[in-house]
């Protein structure tokens, strides 16, 4: 099924005179797992915030299916550390009943922590709790901002596997930001390499061999993911600005074809 949940059309977001997101087209449908990769400051979180309705478009359109239920796992969770807060209470803040909350915790593998203080959770446990909170809403769309941060390497693979399973069970769409390139390549249907604008996008196997990817992430990363060459019509520097073809400024090189 290809029910579009979110469509971005030529989305551009500027902060003063700086372009954070530049003419991005993107569709997330039910059943999709779309992963956004890109260097620091590439506009990934800004793009996600636009999908969540937390950031206005400067130009372009953000279309969201009416009544869309979104489950969001943020990059940072700021909590008042002096206030005691158990996992049970944290989950109750979703407004879902205890059974739904416990089911969600069970599904993400942290039900045994029900009475633990959320301030004492490990990085991996915290991510699974945040995923359970998102899951308790029975979302149509899961939005995950670096879901595997603080998770050890074995745990990362398991977490991405869990995300795939949840996609299948809920038949939801998933859009996530990730820096774990190897795991992303294995666990994603569609990758978008963002550097303000979309440098390259497609199936993981194609992206990993795209020169735009090589330019953005460096030769070493690219070599570990295999490389092929195709046509380019421009380059851009490390700030994401387009520079004329043939220029030797560092950055990402690609076409929009
Ligand atoms: N509210 C804001 N006001 C002004 N500038 C902002 C605002 N939010 C983000 N920016 C700028 O927009 C650019 C993109 O930021 P964003 O957080 O989207 O990048 P990112 O790709 O998620 O980076 P990272 O990988 O480091 O998390 C950055 O230069 C950032 O400083």
Q: What is the pLDDT of residues 189-239, one digit of tens each?
A: 788 989 999 988 888 777 777 777 777 777 666 666 543 333 344 455 555
pLDDT digits (tens, 9 = 90+) for 175-186: 999 877 777 777
Nearest CA to ligand 1 atom 16: 43
Ligand 1 touching residue 41 (CB < 6 A): yes
Instruction: Measure 40 CA to ligand 1 centroid, in angstroms.
Output: 8
Please give the pLDDT value at position 204: 75
Per 3-state DSSP, the chain is made up of helix, strand and coil in percentages (nearest 5) of: 35, 30, 40
Write out the DSSP string of 76-96: -----TTS--BHHHHHHTT--
Question: Mind listing the domains of the chain with CATH numbers?
Answer: 4-69+140-152+168-254 (3.40.50.300)
Contact, 206 vs 190, CB < 8 A? no
Instruction: Measure 45 CA to ligand 1 centroid, in angstroms.
Output: 7
Ligand 1 touching residue 201 (CB < 6 A): no
Closest CA to 212 of 196, 197, 232: 232
Closest CA to 35 of 235, 154, 229, 179: 179
Please give the pLDDT value at position 257: 33
Instruction: Measure 240 CA to ligand 1 centroid, in angstroms.
Output: 13
pLDDT digits (tens, 9 = 90+) for 95-104: 999 999 999 9
Please give the pLDDT value at position 237: 54
Ligand 1 touching residue 49 (CB < 6 A): no
Q: Outline where 73-190 has alpha helix (H).
A: 87-92, 98-107, 123-136, 153-170, 181-187
pLDDT digits (tens, 9 = 90+) for 128-148: 999 999 999 999 999 999 988
Instruction: Measure 161 CA to ligand 1 centroid, in angstroms.
Output: 28
Within a 10 A sphere around the Cβ of 207, how many other Cβ atoms? Answer: 24
Taking each helix axis from N to C end, the angle separating 123-136 and 98-107, rounded to the nearest 10 degrees, works out to 130
Residues 254 and 231: their CA atoms lie apart, in Å, by: 7
Ligand 1 touching residue 43 (CB < 6 A): yes
Q: Which among 44, 149, 178 is the best mutation to test ligand 1's pocket, defined by most ligand atoms within 8 Å of the CB?
A: 44
**Of 19-28, 57-66, 157-166, 222-231, which range is least confident?**
222-231
Please give the pLDDT value at position 83: 81
Location of structure tokens 């993911």: 225
Please give the pLDDT value at position 148: 87
- The pair of structure tokens assigned to 210 is 């795209």
Taking each helix axis from N to C end, the angle separating 153-170 and 123-136, rounded to the nearest 10 degrees, works out to 10
Residue 151: pLDDT above 70?
yes
pLDDT digits (tens, 9 = 90+) for 9-55: 999 999 998 999 999 999 999 999 999 988 889 999 999 999 999 99
Q: Which ipTM score applies to this complex?
A: 0.97
Pairing of strands 70-73, 234-236: unpaired
Helix and strand totals (H; E) in the chain: 9, 12
Mean pLDDT of the region 63-78: 89
3-state secondary structure (DSSP) of residue 2: coil
Q: Closest ligand 1 atom, CA of 179? A: 25
| Sign of the CA dihedral with 173 first, then 175, 180, and 185 last | positive
Nearest CA to ligand 1 atom 9: 46
Instruction: Measure 20 CA to ligand 1 centroid, in angstroms.
Output: 7
Q: Could you give phi then psi for residue 187, rounded to 5 degrees?
A: -110, 5
Residue 90: pLDDT above 90?
yes
């Amino acid at each position: 099924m290809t029910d579009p949940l979110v469509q971005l059309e030529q989305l551009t977001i500027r902060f003063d005179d700086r372009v954070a997101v530049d003419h991005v087209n993107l569709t997330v449908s039910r059943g999709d797992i779309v992963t956004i990769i890109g260097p620091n400051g590439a506009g990934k979180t800004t793009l996600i915030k636009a999908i969540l309705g937390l950031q206005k478009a400067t130009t372009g359109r953000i279309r969201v299916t009416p009544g869309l239920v979104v489950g969001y796992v943020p990059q940072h969770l700021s909590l008042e550390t002096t206030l005691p807060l158990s996992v049970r209470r944290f989950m109750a803040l979703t407004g879902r009943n205890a059974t739904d909350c416990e089911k969600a915790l069970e599904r993400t593998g942290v039900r045994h922590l029900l009475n633990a203080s959320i301030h004492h959770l490990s990085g991996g446990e915290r991510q699974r709790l945040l995923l359970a909170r998102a899951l308790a809403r029975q979302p149509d769309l899961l939005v995950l901002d670096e879901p595997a941060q603080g998770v050890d390497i074995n745990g990362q693979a398991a977490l991405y596997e869990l995300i795939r399973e949840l996609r299948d069970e809920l038949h939801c769409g998933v859009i996530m930001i990730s820096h774990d390139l190897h795991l992303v390549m294995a666990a994603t249907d569609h990758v978008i390499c963002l550097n303000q604008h979309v440098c390259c996008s497609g199936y993981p196997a194609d992206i990993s061999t795209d020169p735009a990817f090589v330019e953005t992430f460096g030769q070493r990363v690219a070599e570990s993911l295999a490389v092929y060459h195709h046509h380019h019509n421009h380059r851009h520097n490390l700030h994401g600005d387009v520079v004329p073809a043939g220029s030797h400024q560092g950055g990402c090189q690609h076409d929009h074809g």
